[in-house]
Structure 1
């Protein structure tokens, strides 16, 4: 139907967003990219038929993927972001005054450039922060070859098809673990469990073979159709997942964060998984 953008991620269900002005549409060297305006959600970016981010609700996703691991860690100085070309996650990472360096590795330079041009409100100048380091490279190769270590690694990937597929493999997770400093945390984008249960199950199995504590936390991101969005959580320090609201509240206040979705209470509650997710995991990750 003309005037509508239909997402093609799932074979049996779909969502449509009304398309106002199409600001940019082209094929980059790697992906089909379109940026358009929607009356409710503001500017929208889609890659290969899948909605990636919108001005209207990006804060839910980026605040949770950034603030949860950094505040749980408590002393993160070096953060690595794999993907995240729109700059929204980089922005949230750099909101933490204790972060000294945020390295972002994005495979597609066009996504970064077009996001800065057409979606500047999402990154809000993060790429100009002197603590930000942008590397245009394959994320898998970077974590395999870099000699650096990081306190927190965040994987802000597309779904497991196309260029993002390799970011869901056990080999990639193993290389990430090798890059983590002691007490480090790996967090990943892990899809919508109600519609992508196998992604949740397989990621948990792979992470569980590598880390002492592998689980998930959740957030409702309206644009990501199908219910809760899951974020993978992996560390060798199980205590990090069990920080109290009081501990997080103190760190949140000290960081001076201003948020639209994240709160310390939501931080703690987000690790309480609904029963259907625990069923997918075979009862695992309940503790």
Structure 2
């Protein structure tokens, strides 16, 4: 192991430091600073603007929960839109559902190219799968100008700073609402409530203001996103899309077993049970 370190300074007064076995790539794209290194604990790590975005070691926890919870929750999803997620991880999970036709909208083509080269184990096959539709475009513009409708929309964004900030507004959530089918579901990345509680509160108000019938959050632990549980926003046009038991989750898979490492039919329901400190943010 080398003496090199990567220090993530996302939170004031708190630092996360990774040992670096070796640097693989550094680049300044049109939209952000991009860095890739190998960690002895997490494998390959991608950081954008100094903030860890994805690691080979724990990415499956986040990707599986972003994708399978809304698709199984809907029960009959066919058209799935992923905004962001140029690494292809969410796309990979969506393709595990044989009836799903996924569309990926990514603003930065460099992220897609970079991920194919440096993170092939995560999403290269999905990004090149003939069922996948890749659109290089601004997610806000796409949502406002597209005439398409989707059963599930997944916002796999960075935090609400810099380029990702526009993906956390009530106007954007309302545009997503307009693009969803009758029983459609929107899922959003919403940070770590212990350290980013205001983000959860703001999103809760904005999602409710965008006209959804059922708004809440569900949680997943992702070790490289330090601070405890990560919150994922849930906004649905139909309250019946959640609240069912594990048996119903299995039935909605029509006898199939998803190839997952974190998601289970039991977690489909349990993830909506929020700790009190997270419940207190929904005020």
Equivalent residues of 2:105, 2:135 under 8 A apart: yes
1:189 alignment partner in structure 2? 189
2:27 matches 1:26: yes
Report if the CA contact (8 A) 1:252-1:264 is conserved. no
Partner of 1:285: none
Q: Which residue of 2 aligns with 1:4?
A: 5
Mapped partners of 1:29, 1:20: distance in 2: 28
Maintained 8 Å contact 2:89/2:123: yes
Secondary structure in structure 2 of the residue aligned to 1:225: coil
> 1:193 & 1:253 partners in 2: Cα distance?
35
In 2: Cα distance, 1:70 partner to 1:14 partner: 35
Q: Over the residues paired in the alignment, what is the CA RMSD in angstroms?
A: 1.2
Instruction: Find the counterpart in structure 2 of residue 84 from structure 1.
Output: 85
Write out per-residue CA displacement over residues 90-111 of structure 1, whole angstroms, 9 at most, x where no aligned residue. 0001110111x21100001111
Residue equivalent to 2:272: 271
Question: How far is 1:2 from its partner?
Answer: 5.9
**Structure 1 CA distance, aligned partners of 2:253 and 2:42?**
28
Give the TM-score, by structure 2 length. Answer: 0.97
Describe how 1:45-60 pairs up with structure 2 within 5 A: 45-60=46-61
Work out the number of aligned pairs and report it. 281
Name 2:68's counterpart in structure 1.
67
Q: Secondary structure at the match of 1:203?
A: helix
Measure how far apart 1:127 and its partner are: 1.3
Instruction: Please tell me whether the aligned partners of residues 96 and 255 of structure 1 are also in contact (alpha carbons under 8 angstroms).
Output: no
Q: Deviations over 1:55-93 (max 9, x none)?
A: 000000000000000011011110000000110000001
SS in 2 for 1:8: strand
Please give the alpha-carbon distance, in whole angstroms, between the structure 2 residues aligned to 1:275 and 1:178.
32
Change (3 A) 1:2 1:166: farther
Partner of 1:178: 178
> How far apart in 1 are the matches of 2:204 and 2:127?
32
Residue by residue, what CA displacement relative to the aligned partner does 1:94-139 show, whole Å, maximum 9, x if unpaired? Answer: 110111x211000011111000000001115001211111011100
Mapping of 1:1-287 within 5 angstroms? 3-99=4-100, 101-209=101-209, 210-252=211-253, 254-282=255-283
1:135 match: secondary structure:
strand
Cα deviation for residue 249 of structure 1 reads: 2.0
Displacement of 1:212 after TM fit? Answer: 1.1
**What's the offset of the Cα at 1:161?**
0.6
Structure 2: gaps of 5 or more residues = none
